[in-house]
Structure 1
Amino acid sequence: MSVDGWHTLLVLGGIRSGKSEFAESLVADAPTVRYVATAPAGDPEDTEWATRLAAHRARRPGSWTTEETAADPGRLAEVITTAGPNETLIVDDLGGWVTVLLDPAHQPADDTATIAELATAVRSSEARLVLVSPEVGLSLVPSTPLGRAFTDALGATNRAVADACDAVALVVAGQAAWLKPAAPAHAAHTVPPAGTSPEAEPSRAATPGTDPGAAAGLGAARAPEAMPAEATSGRAVPADFGAGDVTLPEVLTPAAAPVPGPATPEAPGTGDWAAPTMALPMIATGLVIQPGMELPMPDDYTGPQAVDRLATLDVPGAGLGVLEQVVGFAAATQGTSIPRPWDAVRVLLIHGDHAGGASAGAVPGESARRARQARAGRGALARLAAENRADLQIVEAPTSAPIEYGPALPADEVEAALRYGWRLAEQAADAGVRLLVLAACGAGAEAAAAAVLAATAGAEPPTVLGRVVTEQGEIDDAAWMVRCAAVRDALHRTRRSPREAKDILAELGGGDIALATGVLLGATARRLPVLLDGPVGTAAAMVSRDLAGQARHWCLLPDHGGRPGVRLAADVLGLTPLVDLRLDLGEGATALAALPLLRSALTLAATLPVHPSLGGDDSDSGDRNSDGTGGDDSGNSDRTGYGTGPDEPDFTEPDFTEPEPAGPGPTTIGSDEPVSPGRRAD
């Protein structure tokens, strides 16, 4: 949605004002939309009216569904009341609904009661709802009783629905004026020009002087704000976490230092982290993240087409090997059989610690130091991001409570974390990011991920929890046993608890995994692929499949890193790791290290020509025969291109000669002289 803080919206406008196009543009980014058509079919001989209806239908995206309510005026209130919280409805329009309401076929009827019933349904709607209605109150009073009855009923309907809606907009000559509430300064809106689809036009106009991301719906730049931590039940919660007008962290662009120098400590709240941030409107204004959400899937056809096309390319060997998976994944997520290399990449580094036994063996404050280091452009993750020309965004998650004693995070904070992560993914998509890399750093994160994996896949904690390695490179088995005990106790404590996705996040996962889950769901909703790397990302993928099964199809796992939990999660999710680098530079670093290789595969797939033998053009292959093959007129095809130039050797393959056998026996048989029994041929 495009305006801060609304859940239900009434769009008013005159005839041909652009009100329908404006309403459709507001829900163009929704994964699924139910279009509720209220207009009656009309006279079959009225071709102009039929043309109008056909134009409305042709403008709707193919993913939208249409529901007709013209047969019964009471049906509209029923549709709105029964719509679920994860649905988006657009009603077009209330003028047609009033026409049906006043139809003699539905009389006698209590029009006032029916209008009040509709307003009650709008006020209690759980779905995101946009209603379109004509504004005829500015014209002359009709001269006929039926015309006056229509304007009176429509005026009463508009007033009742406007009172029930969170926001009201009036569209005049294609320009939207916000009546309730007043639009924020950065939320100017325009109607897509006639003849354009909602997908082709942004629903928000760019504000001069703002960041380019603001034009795509990120909002205006805010004044610098500090992000102090508040103590809540022993957890550190970032300020404004999960609030309606949420402050998202700044996107940094690390630059590789040409000469390494001595590290200087950075005080919290200074440097890049205190720079101005961007504000996003609430996503979906009331969207409820719940199991069974219908989110987009990658294209079913372009992925296999891209892989099949690789067999036709002019490559000297057998092809790209396992990197064919990268080409198929990119093609499916981009919706084209010739995918582009990922040019705009953003790394989301989620920092969130876990208290209790899950963090046994971790150095206090080490994860916070890593996060500050990344903000300053230092450390492995920031340097790899700079080498890949990727943005870096550091996200603070609430500190999770000890899972062996109680829930890691309250249910309301889990909901806030999911929404916060969704907003981060939306921010990236609006800024033109083509690929997300999900990274994490936090004490106890691997143990929490192991607990989530044990709860979702039925694994034993010791089999999915990696060994604890100290800063000196030594294995600390005592700390590992403490972590295993904490996970075991947490699973025993929650043995009778529900195993729903949000319950697992609250009891075992904590803030970082909940936030990562929201990122995956938001990225799926915006068709944004994600590189997973490490236990937090794969644990989030395990949880997200129970909220939206489509999420795992937008994830790619470059490497398992030798971590047993990641191996098992990859097997359950159907994700095949591409390489086995076994880097241990922190979650996210391996994905960035492998990214140039993945980009190289996409570059080759997009730029290599078709092999000449399959009809491709090769200017270096010499003269072509009349049948299109290379080589001389004898029919020999020169696949390599050698031997065709005046200064190049001729590599014409000689005739095959059977080798002489070693040992006694016949060697050659004369063709003219028969061979007698017992006589050896000369």
Structure 2
Amino acid sequence: MSVDGWNTVLVLGGIRSGKSEFAESLVADAPTVRYVATAADAPADDAEWAARLAAHRERRPETWTTEETAADPRRLADVLASAGPNETLLVDDLGGWVTVLLDPAHQPADDTATIAELAAAVRSCAARLVLVSPEVGLSLVPTTPLGRAFTDALGAANRAVADACDAVVLVVAGQAAWLKPGAPHPATVPAQAGPMQAGSAQAGSAQHESAQPGPAQAGSAQAGRAQTGAPGVPGGAGASVAASEPSPDVFTPTPPAAPEAVPGAEPTGTAWAAPTMALPMVATGLVIQPGMELPMPDEYAGPQAIERLATLDVPGSGLGVLERAVGFAAATQGTVTPAPWGRVRVLLLHGDHLGDAAAGTVEGESARRARQARAGQGALARLAAESGAELQVVEVPTSAPMETEPTLTGEQVEVALRYGWRLAEEAADAGVRLLVLGACGAGTEAAAAAVLVATAGAEAPAVLRRVVTDSDEIDDPAWMRRCAAVRDALHRTRNSPRSAKDVLAELGGGDVAVATGVLLGATARRLPVMLDGPVGVAAAMVTRDLAGQARHWCLLADHGGHPAVQLGADVLGLTPLLDLRLDLGEGANALAALPLLRSVLALAAALPAHPSLGGGEDDEPDTVPDTDEPDFREPEPAGPGPTSTEPDFREPEPAGPGPTSTEADLREPGGAGPDTEAVDPSGRRAG
């Protein structure tokens, strides 16, 4: 049940680093948790340690169950292998497990083979699994032989388990740093009592049982002891991004009572206009850079869902091309019976491009569209109201003229990417199941065309559609100026690198950069995105160099007849589901198609299999109950003739010589009717 970007995670940390509290926060949303305690009971002469373990047991939530594996180290692998996909396990900790493994009572044993068995069990575990382990590799080498044996064995176990897990996080002084990319939800480590107050823990912070060191480890640093936390791990998400200013408001539009004036003034600032240093680095240490390893959709659920459609009880041939929507939803939800997208959020990016990229546009028109959306007016807001979708209008800084200078600085690109990532994370944390990405800035089509030219080898005139004025007249001079702007921008950057961030800085601008961050953040959180228009497609092209997995989380409902969208979709392998050629504005096209896609998913999930394949059906009763309804059966004929209204298809008896029946007569002589004669086996008449 990989709901947050990981299914198995290893939490490492030193003594009192906060690793246990962080691990517990990762499973706080689970209805039940199997707490696997690996430590042996405290010896009789250690009353303080026994009291600490007792306090840890008492603080666990009542919904948690505890399972102990200290009696047999190999039992831990069996517990993990037998766990079901709907279970959540918390193993605390591997230090205690290694201590028991090295206990003379369990020797001689092949420690290397046992660690390999554990790693294999972690790799194949179907449950959601969190393992806690002390990180002893940063300490001094123990002075005793058995102390060194403990650190060596624990280090080997940590390496093997880390390789088997989807994600690995290191907690240092209450701060979480993700070493292996994952995308779990934000977690906060609660404040913890001091070392001398272990008996009075904070409520809700379920502490673990760790190893009681054996006599051979008396000279070591008590590496197997219980790890208790330090206060203050801020959002422990694998890709959490902090921001210096609040995000734009999110609201669910409702149909306006009256179409009077559109109120509201354009905001004066943007949420990410501050310098980079005002926007902290990604809290986990993850840097947005080329070659990131982000999650992929379920490779089996999609094809299996499409195969299942062929078995449904439908009177026709099925869902046609909309089967792809079912396959996409199944892969991104990880189930063969995907549910219709419930909570949907539209991100409308508003940011203009200066220069000839915006040739032919009415000054202030894009700002009016943004204000209109905020006021619940216009096509986008009304369609959002009809479908119950949320709407978030995101202001991005104005981009410089591409033909004369870079559209953004390198610093602005970094901030824009993190800002878009954070918008996607906030949506995922709020329970959004589908993002719709659109834009309404002036010059966005030329910027997207420039990105496609740089990344796909296109020609500007081929991907820039004609400019149409408000009076439905074609403005060819404006179109030529846009083409010239793209041409000049490509000429200016002919010797520049073509890396993702360079393309965004030189050509893409603020809206494409933020959209790129949104796609990356949504991918990290396993959140599908419906693209609508050239900005989203251009952003998807850029993500290929940063994280190739992002395009597999994108869905294109309709290309709208836009040449840039058609070309980008072809390069990305995104086949549009529909060919309605909608042109209602970015975001609105997707919302217009959303009810149809929801209906398809609901139908695919609800229909049973065809009766010929074992599905159920409502059969007619064998007998008709007495009723006052009239009997519509045909009356029996009064005269001679057949007693049934159905025609008699029997062949007439021949008048002349020949067989007396069209069927082979195998009856004995004398058994024929009055008008028939016996025949011999050869078929000739007898006699």
Amino acid of the residue matched to residue 471 of structure 2?
Q
The residue that corresponds to 2:574 in the other structure is 575
The residue that corresponds to 1:632 in the other structure is none
Task: Describe the SS at the equivalent of 1:248.
Answer: coil
The residue that corresponds to 1:214 in the other structure is none
Return the alpha-carbon distance in structure 2 between the equivalents of residues 611 and 143 of structure 1: 62
- Per the TM alignment, residue 487 of structure 1 is displaced from its structure 2 partner at its CA by 0.3
Aligned residues of 2:12 and 2:135 also touching (Cα < 8 A): no
The residue that corresponds to 1:660 in the other structure is none
TM-score, reference length from structure 2? 0.64
Amino acid of the residue matched to residue 459 of structure 2?
E
Aligned residues of 1:244 and 1:282 also touching (Cα < 8 A): no
Question: 5+ unaligned residues in a row in structure 1: which ranges?
Answer: 2-7, 30-38, 40-44, 73-88, 109-120, 159-168, 172-176, 188-202, 205-216, 219-241, 274-279, 625-644, 658-668, 674-682
- Per the TM alignment, residue 672 of structure 1 is displaced from its structure 2 partner at its CA by 5.3
The residue that corresponds to 1:398 in the other structure is 397
- Per the TM alignment, residue 398 of structure 1 is displaced from its structure 2 partner at its CA by 1.4
1:164-563 paired onto structure 2 within 5 Å: 170-171=228-229, 178=231, 182=232, 244-258=243-257, 260-269=258-267, 283-563=282-562
Return the alpha-carbon distance in structure 2 between the equivalents of residues 351 and 331 of structure 1: 32
- Per the TM alignment, residue 49 of structure 1 is displaced from its structure 2 partner at its CA by 4.6
- Per the TM alignment, residue 474 of structure 1 is displaced from its structure 2 partner at its CA by 1.2
Amino acid of the residue matched to residue 104 of structure 1?
P
Return the alpha-carbon distance in structure 1 between the equivalents of residues 494 and 137 of structure 2: 55
Return the alpha-carbon distance in structure 1 between the equivalents of residues 371 and 330 of structure 2: 36
Return the alpha-carbon distance in structure 1 between the equivalents of residues 598 and 369 of structure 2: 27
Tell me: CA distance 1:96–1:107, structure 2 relative to 1, closer, same or farther (3 Å).
closer
Task: Describe the SS at the equivalent of 1:377.
Answer: coil
Aligned residues of 2:352 and 2:442 also touching (Cα < 8 A): yes
CA deviation profile, 1:142-187 (whole Å, cap 9, x unmatched): 99997664348999xx9xxxxxxxxxx944xxxxx51xxx577xx7
Task: Describe the SS at the equivalent of 2:394.
Answer: strand
Tell me: CA distance 1:100–1:567, structure 2 relative to 1, closer, same or farther (3 Å).
same
Tell me: CA distance 1:353–1:297, structure 2 relative to 1, closer, same or farther (3 Å).
same
Aligned residues of 1:354 and 1:443 also touching (Cα < 8 A): yes
What percent identity do the matched residue pairs reach? 63
Matched, 1:128 2:178: yes
Aligned residues of 1:11 and 1:170 also touching (Cα < 8 A): no
Return the alpha-carbon distance in structure 2 between the equivalents of residues 542 and 463 of structure 1: 17
- Per the TM alignment, residue 312 of structure 1 is displaced from its structure 2 partner at its CA by 1.4
Question: 5+ unaligned residues in a row in structure 2: which ranges?
Answer: 5-10, 30-38, 40-68, 99-110, 113-129, 150-170, 181-188, 200-211, 272-278, 624-629, 635-644, 651-655, 661-687
CA deviation profile, 1:79-114 (whole Å, cap 9, x unmatched): xxxxxxxxxx99820468769634427989xxxxxx
Task: Describe the SS at the equivalent of 2:379.
Answer: helix
The residue that corresponds to 1:22 in the other structure is 22
- Per the TM alignment, residue 583 of structure 1 is displaced from its structure 2 partner at its CA by 2.1
Return the alpha-carbon distance in structure 2 between the equivalents of residues 292 and 27 of structure 1: 29
Tell me: CA distance 1:449–1:257, structure 2 relative to 1, closer, same or farther (3 Å).
same
Return the alpha-carbon distance in structure 2 between the equivalents of residues 325 and 48 of structure 1: 49
Amino acid of the residue matched to residue 311 of structure 2?
T
Return the alpha-carbon distance in structure 2 between the equivalents of residues 361 and 370 of structure 1: 16
Aligned residues of 1:94 and 1:134 also touching (Cα < 8 A): no
Return the alpha-carbon distance in structure 2 between the equivalents of residues 433 and 312 of structure 1: 31
Return the alpha-carbon distance in structure 1 between the equivalents of residues 504 and 633 of structure 2: 68
The residue that corresponds to 1:198 in the other structure is none
Tell me: CA distance 1:513–1:143, structure 2 relative to 1, closer, same or farther (3 Å).
closer
Aligned residues of 2:13 and 2:135 also touching (Cα < 8 A): no
Return the alpha-carbon distance in structure 2 between the equivalents of residues 261 and 139 of structure 1: 64
Tell me: CA distance 1:257–1:48, structure 2 relative to 1, closer, same or farther (3 Å).
same
Amino acid of the residue matched to residue 178 of structure 2?
R
Amino acid of the residue matched to residue 266 of structure 2?
P
Aligned residues of 2:134 and 2:223 also touching (Cα < 8 A): no
1:543-622 paired onto structure 2 within 5 Å: 543-621=542-620
- Per the TM alignment, residue 609 of structure 1 is displaced from its structure 2 partner at its CA by 2.0
Matched residue count = 509
Return the alpha-carbon distance in structure 2 between the equivalents of residues 447 and 654 of structure 1: 73
The residue that corresponds to 1:92 in the other structure is 133
The residue that corresponds to 2:161 in the other structure is none
Task: Describe the SS at the equivalent of 1:350.
Answer: strand
Return the alpha-carbon distance in structure 1 between the equivalents of residues 417 and 254 of structure 2: 31
The residue that corresponds to 2:220 in the other structure is 150
Aligned residues of 2:144 and 2:217 also touching (Cα < 8 A): no
Aligned residues of 1:350 and 1:441 also touching (Cα < 8 A): yes
Amino acid of the residue matched to residue 133 of structure 2?
D
Tell me: CA distance 1:24–1:514, structure 2 relative to 1, closer, same or farther (3 Å).
farther
CA deviation profile, 1:623-665 (whole Å, cap 9, x unmatched): 59xxxxxxxxxxxxxxxxxxxx98699xx999999xxxxxxxx
Return the alpha-carbon distance in structure 1 between the equivalents of residues 214 and 611 of structure 2: 77
Task: Describe the SS at the equivalent of 1:252.
Answer: coil
Return the alpha-carbon distance in structure 2 between the equivalents of residues 466 and 153 of structure 1: 67
Task: Describe the SS at the equivalent of 2:220.
Answer: helix
CA deviation profile, 1:566-605 (whole Å, cap 9, x unmatched): 0001110111112122222211111110111111111111
Return the alpha-carbon distance in structure 1 between the equivalents of residues 470 and 592 of structure 2: 22
Amino acid of the residue matched to residue 585 of structure 1?
L
Amino acid of the residue matched to residue 248 of structure 2?
P
Return the alpha-carbon distance in structure 1 between the equivalents of residues 633 and 523 of structure 2: 54
CA deviation profile, 1:351-396 (whole Å, cap 9, x unmatched): 1111111111111111111111101111110001001100000111
Tell me: CA distance 1:122–1:138, structure 2 relative to 1, closer, same or farther (3 Å).
closer
Task: Describe the SS at the equivalent of 1:340.
Answer: coil
Return the alpha-carbon distance in structure 2 between the equivalents of residues 653 and 484 of structure 1: 75
The residue that corresponds to 1:85 in the other structure is none
Aligned residues of 1:351 and 1:368 also touching (Cα < 8 A): yes
CA deviation profile, 1:196-255 (whole Å, cap 9, x unmatched): xxxxxxx89xxxxxxxxxxxx99xxxxxxxxxxxxxxxxxxxxxxx86444211101100
Return the alpha-carbon distance in structure 2 between the equivalents of residues 103 and 57 of structure 1: 35
Task: Describe the SS at the equivalent of 1:324.
Answer: helix
Task: Describe the SS at the equivalent of 2:289.
Answer: coil
Aligned residues of 1:90 and 1:129 also touching (Cα < 8 A): no
Return the alpha-carbon distance in structure 2 between the equivalents of residues 653 and 591 of structure 1: 55
Return the alpha-carbon distance in structure 1 between the equivalents of residues 407 and 649 of structure 2: 74
The residue that corresponds to 1:101 in the other structure is 142
- Per the TM alignment, residue 460 of structure 1 is displaced from its structure 2 partner at its CA by 0.5
The residue that corresponds to 2:103 in the other structure is none
CA deviation profile, 1:520-551 (whole Å, cap 9, x unmatched): 11111111111111000100111112111111
Aligned residues of 1:136 and 1:151 also touching (Cα < 8 A): no
With 598-607 and 91-100 compared, the bigger mean Cα shift is at 91-100
- Per the TM alignment, residue 413 of structure 1 is displaced from its structure 2 partner at its CA by 0.9
Tell me: CA distance 1:448–1:308, structure 2 relative to 1, closer, same or farther (3 Å).
same
CA deviation profile, 1:484-529 (whole Å, cap 9, x unmatched): 0000011111111111111111111011001001111111111111
CA deviation profile, 1:323-352 (whole Å, cap 9, x unmatched): 111111111111111111111111000111
Tell me: CA distance 1:607–1:286, structure 2 relative to 1, closer, same or farther (3 Å).
same
Aligned residues of 1:13 and 1:134 also touching (Cα < 8 A): no
Aligned residues of 2:136 and 2:223 also touching (Cα < 8 A): no
Tell me: CA distance 1:559–1:672, structure 2 relative to 1, closer, same or farther (3 Å).
same
Task: Describe the SS at the equivalent of 1:428.
Answer: helix
Aligned residues of 2:20 and 2:132 also touching (Cα < 8 A): no
Task: Describe the SS at the equivalent of 1:433.
Answer: coil
